[in-house]
Structure formats: structure tokens, C-alpha cells
């Protein structure tokens, strides 16, 4: 048996204990190490993935709850090997430092950009409160999001 879910378009099955946090299933069973378990408390956002389109900290979701869901991780956001608009903007703005928070940042900002193309600087700051970065002081990330929004 096992838990089946769709991850980045692939149907996958895991034999993990159903209470295992999704982030560990992704990393250990499927070798998708993009999502980072940093706080394991739902505060930092480094483990953020899209579950049925909603940004969700994967450290808080037991694998059983992801059963049958459509999951998209940072690894699945660069379509055909090309960075998506927010990834490209983050690269162009030289936003990345240690990079550990970025898998989660990219997931949250990809969602923001697709659902709220009219977002303002303050909306972006508010949307990022669930994604902590210890290195960059956020400014470049906000700049990149504005750039991505302004790019047709």
C-alpha cells in the first residue's frame, strides 16, 4: 500500500509512517531536498511547498494529509529547465546569499505573483512574513518581486 501523491507532476508512492512530516518524506523518500526543514514549527517558511496550489509549510503536514494531493516543490517551478519569472528576477537582483530560505521564498512569491499580479510593495512585505531570511535583510527579495510583477 502506502501513501500516493502527485509531486511536480509525477505520481509517487511512499511507505513512510503516515505521521511523518511531509518535508521528510519529500527529502528522504523522494530525494527532493529543495524544501528545507529549518524551524519545524511553521514559522520560517523554508519548507514551503504548494499543496493543491496553496503555499503550505511542509514541516507541519503529516504525510497522511498529503495523500492524493497535488504537490509542487521548488524543484518543480523552473519549467523546462528555465527559471520562472520570480526565480529569474531573484537572480537578476542578486538576491541570493546563503540560499537556504530561497526554496520557500520562491514558492511563496511564485504563488503571490500568479494570484495577485497587482500586489504592492507592502503586500509583498506582508506576504513574506511567513518566510524568514537571516542573510539578506529582505530588500533585494522585495525588489525582485517588484521587478517580476513589472515584467510582462
Partner 1 sequence: MSDASATMNFRRRDAADKLRGRTRYTIDRYLPGMLHAAVLRASVPSGRITRLDTSRAARMPGVRAIVTAADAPGMIGIGIADHPLFARDVIRYDGEPIAAIAADTLMQARAALAAIDVEIEPLPVVLTMADALAVDAPLVHPAWRNYEVLLAGGARGGNVAWEATVVRGDVDVAFARPDVEIIESCFRVGRQNHVAFEPRAVVASYEDGRFHIETSTQVPWTIRNATARLLGVPASQVRVTVPPVGGGFGLKFDLAIEPFAALLARASGRPVRLVNSREEEMLTCLFRENADIRIRSAVTRRGEIVGREAVVLMDCGAYGGEQIFLTTMTAHTLGGNYRLGAVRLVSRAIYTNTAPNGAFRACNGVYNTFALERHTDEIAARIGMDPLVFRRRNVLGDSDFGATGQVFEGDVLGPMLDRMDTMRDAAAIPPKRTDGRLYGRATAVGTWFVFVGPSAATVNMNADGTATLVTSGVEIGSGSMMQALPQIVAGTLGLAPDDVIVRAADTDAAGYDVGVGGGRTTVSLGAASLSAAQEVRTKLLKVASEMIEAAPGDLVMRAGRIEIAGAPGSGRTISEVATRAQAQFGPVSGTGAFTGSGVPAMPGCVAGHFIDAIDIPVFAVHDCEVAVDTETGHVEVLSYRVVQDVGRALNPRAIHGQIQGGVVQGLGYALHEEVTIGSNGRVRQNGFETYRVPLALDILPVEINLYEGAPSIGPLGTKGAGEVPILNVGAAIACAVANATGKRVQELPLTPPRVLALLLDREPALSLPHIADSWIDNLVRPHGTAE
Which listed option, ligand FES, partner 1, none, makes contact with residue 25 (CB within 5 to 8 Å by class)? none
Asked if 16 touches partner 1 (CB under 8 A), the answer is no
Residue choice 133, 144, 145, 148 for contact with ligand FES (CB under 6 A) = 133
For residue 101 the three cell numbers come to: 530560505
β-pairing verdict for 3-7 and 70-72 = parallel
Asked if 52 touches partner 1 (CB under 8 A), the answer is no
Number of H helices, E strands in the chain: 6, 5
Q: Is 46 exposed, middle or buried (0-12, 13-18, 19+ CB in 10 A)?
A: buried
Positions that interact with partner 1 (CB under 8 A): 27-28, 31-41, 43-44, 46, 73-75, 77-78, 83, 87, 90-92, 94-103, 106, 124-126, 128-129, 131-142
Amino acid at each position: 500500500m502506502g501513501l500516493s501523491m502527485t509531486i511536480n507532476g509525477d505520481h509517487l508512492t511512499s511507505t513512510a509512517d503516515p505521521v511523518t512530516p511531509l518535508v521528510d518524506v519529500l527529502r528522504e523518500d523522494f530525494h527532493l531536498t529543495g524544501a528545507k526543514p529549518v524551524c519545524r514549527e511553521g514559522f520560517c517558511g523554508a519548507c514551503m511547498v504548494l499543496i493543491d496550489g496553496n503555499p503550505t509549510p511542509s514541516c507541519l503536514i503529516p504525510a497522511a494529509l498529503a495523500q492524493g494531493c497535488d504537490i509542487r516543490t521548488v524543484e518543480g517551478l523552473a519549467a523546462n529547465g528555465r527559471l520562472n519569472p520570480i526565480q529569474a528576477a531573484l537572480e537578476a537582483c542578486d538576491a541570493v546569499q546563503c540560499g537556504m530560505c530561497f526554496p520557500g521564498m520562491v514558492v511563496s512569491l511564485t504563488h503571490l505573483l500568479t494570484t495577485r499580479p497587482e500586489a504592492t510593495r507592502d503586500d509583498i512585505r506582508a506576504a513574506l512574513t511567513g518566510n524568514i531570511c537571516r542573510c539578506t535583510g529582505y530588500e533585494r527579495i522585495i525588489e525582485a518581486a517588484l521587478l517580476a510583477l513589472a515584467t510582462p
